[in-house]
């Protein structure tokens, strides 16, 4: 893997609550009601990058 990121979070201003990230997270640590900002449980995130890849709104911030 070329890049390694240690932190993934969702931009509350960009997230539209489509749920795609939650559906694709392999460890199910993203939650949120439909149409509402979703949240990543930092404790369980394994930094797999799936949420970043699938978000159509570029709402996942990685650092």
Q: Point out which residues bind ligand SF4 (CB under 6 A).
A: 8, 10, 15-21, 25, 27, 29-30, 38, 40, 45-51, 54-55, 57, 59-60
Least separation in angstroms between CB 43 and ligand SF4 = 11
Least separation in angstroms between CB 27 and ligand SF4 = 5
Measured from the CB atom, is 21 or 63 closer to ligand SF4? 21
Structure tokens at 38: 């979703």
Least separation in angstroms between CB 2 and ligand SF4 = 16
CA distances (Å), origin 53, targets 1, 6, 26: 14, 16, 13
Indicate the pairing of strand 30-31 with strand 8-10. unpaired
Backbone angles phi, psi at 22, to 5 degrees: -65, -40
């Amino acid at each position: 893997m070329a890049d390694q990121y240690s932190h993934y979070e969702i931009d509350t201003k960009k997230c539209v609550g489509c749920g795609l990230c939650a559906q694709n997270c392999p460890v199910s640590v993203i939650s949120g009601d439909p149409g509402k900002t979703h949240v990543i449980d930092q404790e369980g995130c394994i930094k797999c990058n799936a949420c970043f890849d699938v978000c159509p709104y570029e709402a996942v911030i990685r650092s």
